[in-house]
Amino acid sequence: MDIWEYFVANAAENERFSNAMTELTGVLTAEIAELLDTTGVGVAVDVGGANGALLRSNAGMRGVVLDLPSVEATAVAEAEKAGCASAWVTTRSNKTESLELSLS
C-alpha cells in the first residue's frame, strides 16, 4: 500500500495531511501567483493542486485541478466558495492512467 492508498483508507489521516499541506504551501501560493507570468495563458493545469489555491490566486484564469479522487470534493468546494467554479474543471487521477482533458 502506498501513502495515497493509505490516505484513501484513513480519512482522518488524509484530512490532517491535506490541512498540513495547505498550511505549508499557503504562504507561498500568493507569492508564486504574483511572480508567475500568466500573460497569454488561456488554460492552466495545476497538477496536485488540491484546493486549487494557485488557480484561485490568478483572477480570470481558467484551469484544471488534477489530483487524486479523494481531493476532488475539496477542490470543487473551494472553487464554488471563490465564485470561480465555472472556470475550473477538477479531474481525478490514480497516477497511472493517461488523461484527455477538454475545456469548452
User: Do the beta carbons of residue 75 and residue 45 sit within 8 Å?
Assistant: no
In a domain, residue 43? The reply is yes
Report the predicted TM-score, pTM, of the whole model to 2 decimal places. 0.65
**Structural domain range at position 7:** 3-92
pLDDT reported for residue 104: 53
Could you give the angle at the alpha carbon of 66 between the alpha carbons of 52 and 7, nearest 5°? 90
Where residue 15 falls among pLDDT bands split at 50, 70, 90? confident
Q: How many domains does the chain have?
A: 1
3-state DSSP assignment of residue 76: helix
Q: What is the pLDDT of residue 29?
A: 78
Q: How far is 41 from 61, CA to CA, in rounded Å?
A: 8
103 within some domain: no
Strands 43-47 and 88-92: unpaired
What is the per-residue pLDDT across 47-92, written as a single tens digit (0 to 9) for each?
877 777 777 777 777 888 887 777 777 777 877 887 777 776 766 6
Going by C-alpha positions, the residue among 4, 49, 6 that lies closest to residue 29 is 49
Question: Where residue 59 sits, what CATH number does that domain have?
Answer: 3.40.50.150
